[in-house]
Structure 1
């Protein structure tokens, strides 16, 4: 599809995701992510009996039922927070080449503690034109990622400040893998597979009460990919950002009725910087002239760079580039073997 069509899909995706966090579906979604599915009346009766038998001296009648009420209230509050995060989210569309770079550079990005100013926007939703592979089974490609800050009025179980990350996959894919074809058409086209709560100051994997990811995947993978996307977007020598097509008046009205803030906000298209340079972007401006006799390819890499604006070191990606004069031979080029037919021996 074209960038314009995918930008329109990204805008519609935000409206669809709001449906996940509205009413009973929002609570049920968060209960699933919390791995706390509602108990039936029979399951509740058995749970109370089991609790009474295993803790006869401390058991209080109806305590399991009260715990279920607390879980339900927590799930509703988390759904409310996610809905607000979706309503305020700035929209981004990662163009296919940018998705390739995130997949290539993300896994090699060194770990660093999360800062409040690391995200490119406090609230954001990025739609990947080319879905990112999950690190485990590779059966649930990541179609989009939503992030938002945790508000002060959050559940008591979440003590630290930070952000919440929700990765989204194709509902069609989930239905096929789980043999639940009935969900297609009944829920939004994207399906939330996990939640990761990432406190400020913590590195990857240092989370609090995040929902378990799909089998074979890791919460660190989501954090690392999103952190790499944020860092790459901030580098003018790596990424270009431009506004996508304007939101149509009819769509803007639908978005406003759904509760979306700034319903006419265009989608920001993030694409790979294509300006060519032969200068090593990792140089420090040394004016010494060196007469190179070859040119060679330097693979992209991350470098810990000091930023005076924030008085801190952050990871900066140095894109792959050619080094050396363009008119010199390539060092380490492919070896070509010429195969010739054997000469015929002269007859005697």
Structure 2
């Protein structure tokens, strides 16, 4: 079972990620992206962030090498994570502005994965987001915790990495030559051992082309503990809502999961700019600071813990005295459910969604519609 990450852990997580991006060896980011992404993956076709002659894997590795050490650190509490997940489901299409970001370059860790129970496990495990300038505007990269025990693919990959490369390639080519059908209900192996054997052969065949272009990374998954889940290059000027360009033929389940994750990240950033969120700056424990300083004393060791303020009984932009001052007289109070409101900002001559939290509305001395007993959860 994966341990819960606290805000005090974030600076050391960043230090481990920085070390990985700078490592020129087989276990570093350069070789990892060469092995897993390569110079020109199929899903980068037509993506304006990567010109036809670009080495996509190397470009991503180089970008992370510059961004991760410079990132401002954020830790999103469980309460704020839950609110972002809920509010994202009703967020209307919105074009992101650079000033909506909590920092130009950042690394944000959620207390728990913000999107779960989708049909795509890759998005369900995401709990870390990094971002910074990229071609065309902004690059957002998502990372998922590596579960314990290790997934089968990681375990097989680490075992293959210990073999001589020629021997590993020989095994992969033999598995690929079998051309086994993908496991399905109609061709389910008769025994558990046969099922394991068939799955192993599929993994071997899958990694053959990767191993032909680069050595297998010894850790297979990044050694800092977070698996890279994907990159979304975003252009501020052309963006409507979040949805990025999706590969033709992508399943509906994958699209839904990706959009849910992207909208939740965008919602988190929007909420972080509102008064309903409070921010507290903390530092890593002394032992962690010493380990970070031994690696790179220039790394910033502060992290901003962002959490919800104590619940209000009226919305942030409206005082309770305002009720009853008009010509209409109210005979009840009522609960207003959380919702988005499009707020105009003169400074940028544009609107920005703001979240109006659940609150009691109406005269305080009038009975509550639906009953006078209210259970209030205070954060």
Question: Scaled by the length of structure 1, what TM-score is found?
Answer: 0.70
Aligned to 2:230, the other structure's residue is in SS state coil
Deviation at 1:31, TM superposition (A): 4.3
Which residue of 2 is the match for residue 343 of structure 1? none
SS at match of 2:95: coil
Tell me: CA distance 1:185–1:145, structure 2 relative to 1, closer, same or farther (3 Å).
closer
- In 1, Cα distance between equivalents of 2:251 and 2:34: 14
> For each residue in 1:152-209, what CA deviation from the matched residue of structure 2 results, as whole angstroms up to 9, or x when unmatched?
xxxxxxxx52111111111126933646374589722111111111111212224499
In structure 2, distance between residues paired with 1:29 and 1:243: 33
Please name the residue that 2:292 is paired with. 255
Residues 241-252 of structure 1: pairs in structure 2 closer than 5 A = 241-244=279-282, 246-248=283-285, 251-252=288-289
Contact 2:154/2:220 (CA < 8 Å) preserved in 1? no
Structure 2 partner of 1:235? 274
Pair 283,334 (structure 1): closer, same or farther in 2 beyond 3 Å: closer
Instruction: Decide whether the 8 Å contact of 1:294 with 1:325 is kept in 2.
Output: yes
Q: Any conservation in 2 of the 1:280–1:322 contact (CA below 8 Å)? A: no
For the pair 1:291 / 2:273, whether they are aligned, the reply is no
Distance 1:230 1:317 in 2: 12
2:90 to 83, 108, 125: 108
CA contact 2:334–2:368 (8 Å) conserved in 1: yes
Structure 2 counterpart of 1:192: 228
For the 8 Å contact 1:194–1:213, the answer to whether it is kept is no
Give the whole-Å Cα distance in 1 for the aligned partners of 2:34 and 2:252: 15
The whole-number CA distance in structure 1 between the counterparts of 2:372 and 2:152 is 43
Give the one of 261, 264, 273 matched to 1:225. Answer: 264
Are the counterparts in 2 of residues 33 and 195 from structure 1 also a CA contact under 8 Å? no
Distance 1:325 1:111, change over 3 A: same
Structure 1 residues 28 and 327: CA distance shift in structure 2, 3 A:
farther
Kept after mapping to 2: 8 A contact 1:198/1:207: no
Q: Is 1:89 matched up with 2:71?
A: yes
Q: Considering Cα pairs closer than 8 Å and 6+ residues apart, tell me whether 1 or 2 has the greater RCO.
A: 2
Deviations 1:9-47 (A, max 9, x none): 111111222244233532344346647689xxxxxxxxx
Alignment partners' CA distance in 2, 1:5 and 1:172: 13
Q: Please name the residue that 2:131 is paired with.
A: 147
Contact preservation (8 Å) 1:256, 1:263: no
**2:93 corresponds to 1:127:** no
Kindly indicate whether the alpha-carbon contact (under 8 Å) linking 1:301 and 1:318 is maintained by their aligned counterparts in 2.
yes
Q: Which has the larger radius of gyration?
A: 1
Post-superposition offset of 1:282? 6.2
1:114 is displaced (CA, Å) by 2.0
TM-score by length of 2: 0.65
Alignment of 1:165 with 2:140, yes or no, is yes
CA distance in 1 between partners of 2:57 and 2:154 (Å): 26
Partner of 1:270: 306
Q: Please, which of 355, 362, 369 is the counterpart of residue 324 of structure 1?
A: 362
Aligned counterpart, 1:27? 30
| Residue among 210, 213, 216 paired with 2:254 | 216
- Equivalent residue for 1:117, pick from 88, 99, 110: 99
When residues 270 and 32 of structure 1 are mapped into structure 2, their CA distance, relative to the original with a 3 A threshold, is: farther
Equivalent residue, structure 1, for 2:192:
none
The count of residues paired between Structure 1 and Structure 2 equals 288
Deviation for aligned residue 1:147: 1.0
Say whether residues 1:79 and 2:61 are aligned partners.
yes
Q: Is the 8 A contact 1:241 1:269 kept in 2?
A: yes
